[in-house]
Structure 1
Amino acid sequence: MGLRVLAAMSGGVDSATAAARAVDAGHEVTGVHLALSSNPQSYRTGARGCCTIEDARDARRAADVIGIPFYVWDMAERFARDVVDDFVTEYAAGRTPNPCLRCNEKIKFEAVLDRALALGFDAVCTGHYARIADDGALRRAVDPGKDQSYVLAVLNKDQIAHAMFPLGDTPKTLVREEAHSRGLLVADKPDSHDVCFIADGDTRGFLARKLGSEPGAIVDADGTVLGSHEGAYGYTIGQRKGLHLDRPAPDGRPRYVLSIEPVSNTVTVGPADALGVREITAIRSVWTGCEPPTAPIECAVQLRAHGEVHDCVAAMEGDSLRIDLRSPARGVAPGQAAVLYAGDTVLGSATISAARAAV
């Protein structure tokens, strides 16, 4: 017997194909597009597949082709508070947030799922590339280049139990071919990239408009002033370009952002080999593939979307998660997610609060 399924339709090829597959599986499917901006024209324009007026129209046309009811839900206020404001606050605090992860957590699988369950739906279907195992564990997609388990790892067990990811077992190229065969006009629509609520892609400019100019110093590890900046929020750990330093390094090698101190408004830079991190502390852990470990576990950790995977030992220390890497990782920034895996299965995730250099 089929389920009552709410299909979140962004206006892109993935969510449209996922909705069509849910219909093929015998479910009673209703499409919904999330209106995430009170002024959609202020968001990114063009055929990108996320939150513009064109996207809403594309989603509606896809629903018509599939033959399912379609609605638009206004999530602008919730999105502004839980994703956009959070993004700005995190950068102001010297951290590097992932807005797609926050959107999955707070919008698609909290606000939308809560409303869907209240309306009598059994599950929410999306076009994410991930799989759900028979035991309810979240697993990587078969297409490693499109795998989105990292940005879904913040979901809890109950949310995963009410989720559907019909595309997790299919490479993206075949999804586009399938969309063509179904007559979906979004079959060739480009994938969305970057941050959807920053229309021109200029994150530093967006933050400057929100936070204003806050001049400060760029220094090396011993405190020598090398240059200045207009806001520490405009930098991320591991950044190389855009430093505009007045004094080159004595050895001529490039410098990278090593740390960001929002209280003193200082950005510290140094050589690439100073970026190596061996020990990570993370907070707000969520465990879906196992129970919270009572002893250290051998596993692997991914520290950014589509980033490298590192072997590690993870252990709970009070309310915090400690991760000891077998080999150093670079560009590890507070605010990012650390997602633990056993093979292709997500064990849990947590938000990085501190990282210590390799010694």
Structure 2
Amino acid sequence: MTPADFQLSQPLKARRIVVAMSGGVDSSVVAGLAAASGAETIGVTLQLYDHGEAVGRVGSCCAGRDIRDARAVCDKLGIAHYVFDHASSFRETVIDDFADEYLAGRTPIPCVKCNMGPKFTDLFALARDLGADCLATGHYVRRVEGAYGPELHRAIDPARDQSYFLFATTAAQLDFLRFPLGGMPKAQVRELAAELGLGVAAKPDSQDICFVPDRDYASLVKKLRPEVETSGDIVDEAGRVLGQHKGLIHFTVGQRRGLEIGGAAEPYYVLRLDSASRQVIVGPKRALAVRTARIDNINWLAGDYHGEMTVKVRSLAKPVPARLEHDRVTFELPEYGVAPGQAAVLYAGDRVLGGGWIQQTERAELALA
């Protein structure tokens, strides 16, 4: 590997690079590429939420084992490694928000809140304090130099693309950030890790939210907000009681399983959650169709762009044609499963134009089939 390898997707002339290191293979390879570029490289790990040792769980970001892995990589590469305790900030800006959103009947995306807070805002301050020329991360997204400055683009590997989770990245942050892995498939990243002799080359990717053991969201939220267990009615759009539930935490918009109601002529889905009445409102699939969504806290990265665009309303959804007018996203065709609390991220081709948080939806008027 040569110093030019760090420039595979992100041209960089820097004297000092700070690398955000989670202990996984992606950030470890970024550190290796940065060190090979000839720049002074410093690895930084944020101690956010260490439940990994307590539950004996491997693959949880920022757990004690992951910090040791990050340190071992830095030792192998001969670069400095620092650990900073940001558990309090993480609890306030990510974990508490996660619980409160579920309590309010919304569907949160904690990874975006983490990127907006500890990972970028806090790491930015640390990188600046360390005199860095840039902050490099292992996210699968591309930073492309455009006519009016850096742009945020999807990764070339669609299966790894993380642009949906980075829509809130500001223009100032994007100017300082580098994403060396955005132009590589995952297989190549693991090959580079093996070439570097890194012990994490075969380390499994984390599949869960880092602070939620075994994807058991309900148990965590119930521990933090016991009132979320309040039971209530499952009702149809006319207000008829069809059944009972054991807490809004167990439901999200578009869900079909777990309703445990019978007698309906067709399958029913969760249409919305009413936190005030503790009701789960259900109906047929056609009632899930949404024509317009109102979004707030819009982060716009595309200047005066007014061309065609697409929008994703879930991380795994396909982008669909839409338009943005002020704070409203209007879908060209009705979209399903649009949930308050999720993000609406707008694209022009592979370029991320910006996005915002879904606050309300307006149902499409569809003829009954």
TM-score range, shorter chain: over 0.9
Q: Which runs of 5+ in 1 are unaligned?
A: none
- CA deviation string 1:153-203 (max 9, x = no partner): 111100111111110000011111111111111111111112111113211
1:166 maps to which of 167, 177, 180 = 180
Q: Secondary structure at the match of 1:197?
A: coil
The CA deviation at 1:26 is 2.8
Stretch of structure 1 that moved more, 2-11 or 334-343: 2-11
Summarize the Cα distance change of 1:46–1:209 in structure 2 as closer, same or farther, 3 Å threshold: closer
1:26 and 1:342 mapped to 2: Cα distance?
35
Query: TM-score when scaled to structure 2?
Result: 0.90
Letter in 2 for 1:163: L
Match of 1:26, SS state, is coil
The one-letter amino acid paired with 1:268 is I
Aligned residue in 2 for 1:223: 239
2:33 corresponds to which of 21, 31, 49: 21
2:45 is aligned with 1:33: yes
Match of 1:203 in 2: 217
1:38, distance to aligned residue in structure 2 (A): 5.9
Equivalents in 2 of 1:192, 1:40: separation in Å?
12
1: CA distance, partners of 2:67 / 2:74: 11
Contact 2:234 2:280 in 1 (8 A): yes
- The alpha-carbon deviation at position 49 of structure 1 amounts to 5.1
Match of 1:288 among 294, 301, 309: 301
Answer yes or no: is the 8 Å Cα contact 1:302–1:310 preserved in 2: yes
For residues 1-359 of structure 1, what are the structure 2 equivalents within 5 Å?
1-37=13-49, 40-42=52-54, 45-48=56-59, 50-135=61-146, 136-212=150-226, 213-245=229-261, 247-249=262-264, 251=265, 253-291=266-304, 297-316=307-326, 321-359=327-365
Distance 1:112 1:45, change over 3 A: farther
Aligned length: 348
- Closer, same or farther in 2 for the Cα pair 1:261/1:14, shift >3 Å? same
Q: Deviations over 1:270-315 (max 9, x none)?
A: 1222111111110010111224x6xx65310011113211101111
**Secondary structure at 2:272 match in 1:** strand
Does the CA contact (< 8 Å) of 2:52 and 2:65 recur in 1? no
Greater shift, 299-308 or 204-213, is seen at 204-213
Quote the offset at 1:48 in angstroms: 1.4
Q: Which amino acid aligns with 1:57?
A: R
Deviation at 1:45, TM superposition (A): 4.3
Residues 35 and 41, structure 2, Cα contact 8 Å, conserved in 1 = yes
Relative to the length of structure 1, the TM-score reads 0.93
Letter in 2 for 1:356: E
CA distance in 1, matches of 2:51, 2:140: 29
Shift of 1:40: 5.0
Instruction: Specify the code of the residue in structure 2 equivalent to 1:248.
Output: G
